[in-house]
Amino acid sequence: MATNFKVGDRLSYDGAVCTVRYIGEVSGTSGSWLGVEWDDPTRGKHDGSNKGVRYFTCRSKSPNAASFVRPTRPTEKPQSFIKAITEKYASELTNTAVIKFSNKVAEEVGFDKIQRKQAQLAELRVVIVDSSRIASAYSEGDKPLSEVCPKIVELDLSRNLFQKLGQVVEICSELPALRSLRLNGNRFQDIFNDEVLGNSHDVLKEVKDLALEETFMSWEEICHVATKFQTLSTLSASANQLSFLPETPLSTLASTLVSLNLEFNNFITIADVASLAGLKALRNLHLKGNHISTITQDPSHALPVFPTSLKYLDLSYNKVSSWDFIDVLPNCFPGLTSLRFSHNPIYDNPDPEFSTQSKSITDEAYMFTVGRIANLKTLNFGTISNSDRQDAEMFYLARIGKHLAAVPEDQEAEVIKRHKRFAELCELYGPPVVNRRKEINPAFLEARLVTVHFSFHPAGEEDKIVERTTRIPKSFDIYTVKGIAGKLFGARPLGLRLIWETGEWDPVFGFDDEVEDSDEEEDEEKRGETDAGDAEDLGDSSQPDGKPGKWVKREVELQDGPRQLGFCVDGLEANIRVELR
């Protein structure tokens, strides 16, 4: 009975589809076996080898995609495309109950009405017959497809029993209105020698969207198929175990392909897809769920440069762990204006040395990403307004200032080198405040003293400022500090408020607001103008260089209590404003 099968046959057992990869004996057993690779890689028990002997190799890289089954095991009968459509969209007619009131037939509503409309096969425009055991266009007795459902525009033939792409071309040849074709999960064979496919240019020339996901085809095979679709604008080739895209002639697609989906493959660098640079019309590139961590493995190699037409890039769910990657991204994608970058390791801890609890990690990652890429208009599906960009760039610049303050002065150049936009941002907002702490031997008395610069507005003399400077031990509590301030300014200590002026900048309002969804640049400009106007009315909310913005100098009131001064202020120097209660 084994002679009834041949290698490459597509079989279905109780709804589970597989491909025959081997026919013959298995050591240690009697009789003949079929070695099959399951479409569902979790369905099997091994990878084509048994007890150290390899009998066949699977296309899937899963260790459990294969099994051995007896040729006598019953299989489900394949069917034609016409039979599958009739079974799905017309069989309900025979089971539809007719409801009567006073001998009058009531109008069918809801699902019954929809089913009856679907049964009008000649009017079908969207047909989904995935997992329907289709192996051919026709079987004996079927009507011509051009008579049954000639108006199909979208067709899903995923996960069926086709062996040759020519069988699909035969179906498409009678569908002049076809514009979208999904062939996911099929296992096509001998693609380069398929004569029907080779002569299919005229048949497939009007199809705009093609999906070849989970087919385990090589990139060369995918391109060979895709070039038969002369006006193809969208190609989806996700989950095909691709790790590198070799240079492949795509001249017929260079001016038509707009969107390319390569999600859930095995790329580890941007350079692995560098061959796509020849697609001059490409606008959207989806690389979600790969293993990308760097631009290129060899830093000495030239960076890949993609066409300026490419505006949207999806790099979510990859393995990027360094901001250097983001800094170089605009060089590789000079036209980039929209990015999805969430769920990368860098988002888990965007700035480990200076992470604060005042902002969530996601907020910090968002600010750093926007601040580092100047031309970005949308990030993670949210529109970046003018005020959002201003906030992000000022936050990023302030964080660079903290980085500079944490290193000796002779190492400033090294820090600045890591921030490509530093000079540009300083030009926009002024240089950041760098409060570098002087290193003092902790055993010295000087290390235990804080130089406090007090400023005070006497009552009834608001225009007058009295300033005093004194050195106070870090161990003094706030009550004692107030006593010193009261003595300096001749005021009752408990009637005073002490305000520590940190010299840093914080956003005033709207920092955590959701990003606007509008895509209109004009609306963004109007929102930016409104935000700036609001900021001017806030008095101290100007930016360091005097330009209006949603930022104010951060101040902290030193509350009454036994807490020591050294725990309330940073460093060995502090500016404290004294106010009457």
Statement to judge: residues 449 and 523 lie in one domain: yes
Q: Give me the pLDDT at residue 91, please.
A: 65
Query: Per-residue pLDDT tens for 461-504?
Result: 767 888 999 999 988 999 899 999 999 988 888 889 999 988 77
pLDDT in single tens digits along all 581 residues of the chain? 345 899 999 999 999 999 999 999 999 899 999 999 999 999 999 999 988 999 999 999 999 999 999 999 999 999 999 999 988 888 654 444 445 545 555 555 555 655 555 557 888 999 999 999 999 999 888 888 888 899 999 999 999 999 999 999 999 999 999 999 999 999 999 999 999 998 888 899 999 999 999 999 999 999 999 999 999 999 999 999 999 999 877 777 888 999 999 999 999 999 999 999 999 999 999 999 999 999 999 888 889 999 999 999 999 999 999 999 999 999 999 999 999 999 999 988 888 766 554 456 778 899 999 999 999 999 999 999 999 999 999 999 989 998 898 888 889 999 999 999 999 999 999 998 787 655 555 666 667 888 999 999 887 676 788 899 999 998 899 989 999 999 998 888 888 999 998 877 766 544 444 444 444 444 444 444 433 333 333 334 444 444 445 567 788 899 988 888 988 888 788 899 999 88
| Residue 171 shares a structural domain with residue 60 | no
Residues 553 and 486 placed together within one structural domain of the fold: yes
Domain span at 16: 2-69
**CA–CA–CA angle 342, 346, 349 (5° rounding):** 110
Tokens representing 471 are 């050195």
Whose structure tokens read 């990869």? Answer: 21
199 occurs within a structural domain: yes
Q: What is the pLDDT of residue 523?
A: 45
Q: Is 315 helix (H, G, I), strand (E, B) or coil?
A: coil
Residue 373 covered by a domain: no
DSSP state of 425: H
Same domain, 51 and 162: no
Q: Report yes or no on 210 lying in a domain.
A: yes
Residues 6+ apart with CB under 8 A from 126: 152, 153, 154
Q: How far is CA 352 from the centre of its chain?
A: 22
In a domain, 296, yes or no: no
Domain final position from 48, 69, 90: 69
Determine contact, residues 284/312, Cβ cutoff 8 Å: yes
Is the same domain home to 451 and 573? yes
Q: Clarify whether residues 491 and 566 are in a common domain.
A: yes
CATH number at residue 500: 3.10.20.90
β-bridge partners, 580:
496
What predicted TM-score, i.e. pTM, was given to this entire model? 0.74
271 located within any domain: no
DSSP string for residues in 521-540: HHHHHHHHHHHHHHHHTTSS
Provide the mean pLDDT of the chain: 85
In a domain, 280, yes or no: no
What string of DSSP letters covers 258-293?
A: -EEE-TTS---BGGGGGGGGG-TT--EEE-TTS---
Last residue of a domain, one of 51, 69, 87: 69
* pLDDT recorded at residue 537: 37
Residue 560 located in a structural domain: yes
567 within a domain of the structure (yes/no): yes
Domain tally, the chain: 3
**Domain final residue, candidates 69, 84, 101:** 69
| pLDDT attached to residue 438 | 58
Torsion angle of the four alpha carbons 273, 279, 281, 282, in this order, in degrees rounded to the nearest 10: -10
Neighbours of 263 (CB within 10 A): 17
φ, ψ at 102 (rounded to 5°): 55, 45
Could you tell me which residues come within 8 angstroms of residue 513 by beta carbon, excluding any fewer than 6 positions away?
none
* 3-state SS track over 163-177: CCHHHHHHHHCCCCC
CA distances from 145 to 88, 131, 148 (A): 15, 20, 5
CATH code where residue 28 lies: 2.30.30.190
Q: Find the CATH number of the domain harbouring 173.
A: 3.80.10.10
Residues 456 and 539 in one domain: yes
455 and 569 belong to one structural domain: yes
